[in-house]
Amino acid sequence: MQPFEPESLPPRNLDLPGLVPLIGKANRGVAMLEGLFHGIPNPDVLLSPLTTEEAVLSSRIEGTQADFGDVLKFEAGEEPAEPGRREEIVEIINYRRALRLAEELLRERPFCLNTLLKLHEVLMDSVRGHNKGRGRFRTVQNWIGPEGAPIEAAVFIPPSPLHLQEH
């Protein structure tokens, strides 16, 4: 198996005219939501549970088992029953922090590689892997496969570190 080579962006065969109705519908939905939030003194109070739930679900990709209730209890000062759960909860909280930071940074500038690396630094703060290039691009080839298995047994091999900047 070879490292994955993503196609260049934007996709060449994108059907923009076919997407216009969907873009319009999405735009109306965002405008309605924005209108609802306009009348709320602190919209973050309403959005906080949603961002926490998004952080919980996205962290599951990494194998995190902590759930929404675990995060709420931890933030209320209760230590998790299982010691290993604490680090998982911190991962979820970091995800939420990165989401908020992204929102803040994108108000000031367009998305760029520096923003991506800053968000990675926040995600990896005080969790497993925090000492493995937090906030930097990787310099070695990695792969996804059974634990301890060689690259030949990989299910997926991401792009080579030599080509990360261009991808």
Task: Please report the pLDDT score of residue 6 as a whole number.
Answer: 92
Contact 52, 89 (CB under 8 A): no
pLDDT tens per residue across span 12-29:
888 999 999 999 999 999
Would you state the structure tokens that stand for residue 14, as one six-digit string? 């994108």
Task: Please report the pLDDT score of residue 1 as a whole number.
Answer: 84
Q: Residue 116 contacts by C-beta under 8 Å, 6 or more apart in sequence? A: none
If pLDDT is split at 50, 70 and 90, which confidence band does 9 have?
Answer: confident
pLDDT > 90? residue 105: yes
Give the C-alpha distances (Å, rounded to integers) separating 77 from 15, 18, 67, 94, 131. 51, 50, 16, 17, 27
Task: Please report the pLDDT score of residue 70 as a whole number.
Answer: 94
b/e code 104-117 from CB counts within 10 Å (16+ = b): ebeeeeeeeeebee
Q: What is the pTM of this model?
A: 0.77
pLDDT > 90? residue 147: no
pLDDT > 90? residue 61: no
Q: What ranges do the domains of the chain cover?
A: 43-136, 139-167
